[in-house]
Amino acid sequence: MDLHDFLYRHELDRRLSRLYGDPAASDEDWVTIPQDAEAARALLGTVSQLTGHRVFARIARCALTAYERYASPQTASSYPLYRDTALREAFGDELETAYLDWAAIILEAVRFQMGDATFGSFLRCVVEADEAYAARAEERAAAGV
């Protein structure tokens, strides 16, 4: 595991701990993350390893966008259709990106495993962790660290 992976995973762990922990708990309290979330994190880690983190971050954003469209009260279609549309919008001609089809399959497995009720919150943690990590990386680069 390189430093990037370690720092991103640390950020994701913090966010997942807040998601699944007692709201009254302190940051130091131990939080047991449910098995489905642990499995989802491992599956999405596979996507990250297959595609590289930059592509993975775009895929995660697509998955969240698709979920938000799917969860909308005006929804008339299925999550896979919204997911595929969001991927096409984000990647356009890059749909030949290595492993993108596998990423879609893994996302569907994660959604199915977690259920719609928790899938969106989990994805939000993934995307927010990436955004926080990217902001910290920019700060470190600006500081010359």
The answer for 143, left when phi > 0, alpha when psi is -120 to 50, beta otherwise, is alpha
DSSP assignment, residue 93?
A: G
Q: What token pair was written down for 55?
A: 């592509």
pLDDT on residue 126: 92
User: Which residue reads 């966010």 in tokens?
Assistant: 15
pLDDT value of residue 121: 92
Please provide residue 27's backbone torsions phi and psi, each rounded to the nearest 5 degrees: -65, -20
User: Buried (b) or exposed (e) across 45-73, using 16+ Cβ within 10 A?
Assistant: bebbeebebebbbbbbbbbbbbbebbeee
Phi, psi of 6 (to 5 degrees): -60, -50
Q: Is 115 exposed, middle or buried (0-12, 13-18, 19+ CB in 10 A)?
A: exposed
**What is the model's pLDDT at position 4?**
61
The answer to whether 60 and 12 have CB atoms below 8 angstroms apart is no
CB contact set of 79 (below 8 Å; sequence gap of 6+):
66, 67, 70, 108, 111, 116
pLDDT the model gives residue 96: 62
Give the per-residue pLDDT at 66: 92
Q: What is the pLDDT along the chain (145 residues), one digit of tens a residue?
A: 456 667 788 888 888 888 888 777 776 778 888 898 899 988 888 888 888 888 888 999 999 999 999 988 887 788 889 998 898 888 886 656 667 888 888 999 999 989 888 999 999 999 999 998 888 878 877 887 6
